[in-house]
Amino acid sequence: MKIVRFAQMKEGIHINNEIIYLLPNGKTLFIRPECIDKMQKYRQVKRNDTEAGGILIGRILIENGHYIIDEVSEPMTTDKRRRTYFKRNMEGHQEFFNSIWDREVGSCFYLGEWHTHPENNPTPSSIDWKNWNRLKRIGFESECLFFIIVGINEMKVWYSEKNSKIIELRRRSSFG
C-alpha cells in the first residue's frame, strides 16, 4: 500500500468526542466516532450474526505524534464471513483504501485491522494472534499497528510495535 506517515491535523477534529486509548510511549490513539459507529453496526448481537471486519486507515498528527483512525472499511461481498471466522479479501479493501488515498491526496495510511467477535468481552483467538504477528512481521510503513476486536458489549484495542509484544491498550475517558 502507498503511504504517507505524517499529516497535518485537519480542521474539525474534536478530540473530546473521540474514543481515546493510551499508548505505552505516552502518545494516544484517537478513533473517530463515525468509525466506532461503522464498526458497532456489525456487533454480533443475534445468534446467527457472522463476523465482520476491515482495515483501519489513519494518520499520525504532525503536531504531536498522536495517532488518529479516520476511516474503517466495512465487510465486502468477497470476504469470507462465518459465525467465528472472518477473512477479508484483499482487493475490495485495497480499493477502499485507494479511494480514501485519492480523497486525502495521499495523507493517510494503513493502521491495522478490525473484526467482530460473538462474545461480550472479546479476547483474541489463537488465529488472531497468528494473523496479528504475521501482519507485524510483513513490512508496514507505520511504526506500529492497531488491532480492534468489537465484542457485543465491549470494544478492545491491541497495539503492536515492530520489535515488541502485542499489548492491549487502556482506554482513556478524556484528553488533557
Q: Which residues are catalytic?
A: 51
**Shortest spacing between CB 11 and Zn ion, in angstroms:** 36
Phi, psi dihedrals of residue 54, rounded to the nearest 5°: 180, -165
- Interface residues with Zn ion (CB under 5 A) are 125, 128
CB closer to Zn ion, 28 vs 116: 116
- Burial (CB count within 10 angstroms: exposed 0-12, middle 13-18, buried 19+), residue 97: buried
Q: How many CA atoms lie within 13 A of 103 on its CB side?
A: 11
CB of 98 to Zn ion, least distance (A): 26
Minimum CB distance to Zn ion smaller for 70 or for 113: 113
Would you give the end-to-end CA distance of the chain in angstroms?
34
Nearer to Zn ion, 18 or 128 (CB): 128
In angstroms, give the least distance from the CB of 156 to Zn ion.
11
Q: Residues 124, 15, 56, CA angle at the centre, nearest 5°?
A: 35
Distance in Å, CB of 141 to Zn ion, minimum: 24
Closest among 160, 111, 108 to 134, alpha carbons compared: 160
Burial 144-158 (b: 16+ CB within 10 A, else e): bbbbbbbbbeebbbb
Nearest CB to Zn ion, comparing residues 70 and 128: 128
Report the Cα 56 to chain-centroid distance in Å. 4
